[in-house]
Structure 1
């Protein structure tokens, strides 16, 4: 932290430095053709919508790492992902807090929501911005924890939220658990809708054939054990899974080829041979 001996001058320098860093970071992102969500702070509401809210509870006042604060409840446009100010609109307030921090005044705790290892600011955006500018590592906060339907991991940017959202919708329609939940993962958000429809169609055919109803959990467990796992094994044995393909992606691709070839839902070695030969012709 630079110190000229004048808290007012230093606070002004702090703000100008933060604005300059924000401008250069935004410029570099545009030159790299990065999307805005790489530099823009995450929206708490968008994250909760993607992951699904289950419950919340107050944890009290804690000291939290500044680097773990990644988003905002309602000030996304005012600060970037590193909480540098994106304009000079609140410069006076920012500099007043900077002077207070430099002169050792008591700064009240900020208010945050915690989702896993991520924190989102409810109140105290300027305090976070100033603390980051002064190279502090931690800040005092009133913490309210949010429990979510999906595990809050793998969220590097806002673009990751679409995949999370559609995975949550799929898991609410088809409640996979344990090994099945981990195995049925894809990289294209659209595929989660296809998986849900595929499982539900399989369950409808099975219930009609058996003359018995199955609930959602039974549907998910039986489809994984009786359809997905055996078919993925066939795909592996037939050598028709792509090098970078996830098991669920391979299943969807091969299932689509199978139905186009024979207009049936059966599985056997001859079908795998047909899929393999069709793939060779395309190459």
Structure 2
């Protein structure tokens, strides 16, 4: 344990709580001084994460030993603890100190209950136990785990604000059901760009159906767009050194919008690229 040891478990448990509260306040102050977003120290709400990623199913895994640093959120107790499960007020003090005292005395502590999404865990029951374990310097904890499957991979989620991007991406992939490498290739950093790209692809698909005089489902349109439009254009953008610091999908969206603004046609010729290169240099 990294916690303070005086030989008096009750006094040590009280010091544990006060130290955890002090660290929580100092963390809030540091966040304010660094002008970081407010959500940096807020634990992730489970239901918002599931909504952003898209729920597919769940199954019970039973008892497991999980890393404390993998626990990033809560089902319903986000106001009582911060992202590191430090208490945000003295409201939880009495129960917190009872658990800290039991832990210091070596008494058996029941496993917590969590949802698992990818490598992340969200507490159903046991917030105080997680908080005490952090305060005592532990690295892992016993838990009953329920694994939740989602449509999107939760990788990249660090703060609550990251859920906005995931939510827009999920909606985009419902409108444009790409698969495999094509699905992985389409990445943008601003949430609204997924909406712009989705509308662009739907418009492209509508023109394609008009040209061919036949109805095409969303999956077919997505595949045709990626293979006959997106990949050739991105290849030209690479060759013309027009990708820059953007993702390739962002570069495609940029040049596609510029195409309509510049010439109102579907041509990809030297004149268009020369104009784009001039605009980039401004």
Q: TM-score range by the shorter chain?
A: over 0.9
Return closer, same or farther for 1:213/1:97 CA change in 2, 3 Å cut-off. same
Distance 1:99 1:238 in 2: 66
Partner of 2:212 in structure 1?
A: 210
Aligned length: 280
8 A Cα contact 1:48 1:148, kept in partner: yes
Residue 147 of structure 2 is aligned with which of 131, 137, 145? 145
Partner of 2:262 in structure 1?
A: 261
Partner of 1:45 in structure 2?
A: 47
What's the CA shift for 1:110?
A: 0.6
Q: Does 1:194 align with 2:196?
A: yes
Partner of 1:87 in structure 2?
A: 89
Which deviations, in whole Å up to 9, do the C-alpha atoms of 1:205-230 show, x marking residues without a partner?
00111011211111111000011111
What's the CA shift for 1:166?
A: 0.3
Which deviations, in whole Å up to 9, do the C-alpha atoms of 1:25-55 show, x marking residues without a partner?
1111111111121111111111111111111
Partner of 1:274 in structure 2?
A: 275
Distance 2:240 2:139 in 1: 54
Residue 223 of structure 1 is aligned with which of 219, 222, 225? 225
Where structure 1 has 5 or more consecutive residues not aligned to the other structure, the ranges are none
Distance 2:31 2:271 in 1: 51
Distance 2:111 2:142 in 1: 5
Partner of 1:170 in structure 2?
A: 172
Residue 250 of structure 1 aligns to a residue in which SS?
helix
Structure 1 residue runs of 4+, over 6 Å off?
Answer: none
Residue 108 of structure 1 aligns to a residue in which SS?
coil
Distance 1:69 1:279 in 2: 44
Distance 1:138 1:277 in 2: 56
Distance 2:224 2:138 in 1: 53
Partner of 1:110 in structure 2?
A: 112
What's the CA shift for 1:116?
A: 0.6
Q: Does 1:66 align with 2:40?
A: no
Distance 1:232 1:156 in 2: 30
Partner of 1:245 in structure 2?
A: 246
What's the CA shift for 1:8?
A: 1.1
Partner of 1:156 in structure 2?
A: 158
Distance 2:120 2:180 in 1: 24
Which deviations, in whole Å up to 9, do the C-alpha atoms of 1:178-223 show, x marking residues without a partner?
2211221111111100111111111110011101121111111100
8 A Cα contact 1:114 1:146, kept in partner: yes
Where structure 2 has 5 or more consecutive residues not aligned to the other structure, the ranges are none
Which deviations, in whole Å up to 9, do the C-alpha atoms of 1:240-269 show, x marking residues without a partner?
33x201111111111111111111233233
Which deviations, in whole Å up to 9, do the C-alpha atoms of 1:152-173 show, x marking residues without a partner?
1011111111111101100011
Distance 1:27 1:46 in 2: 26
What's the CA shift for 1:177?
A: 1.1
Deviates more, 1:200-209 or 1:230-239: 230-239
Deviates more, 1:260-269 or 1:166-175: 260-269
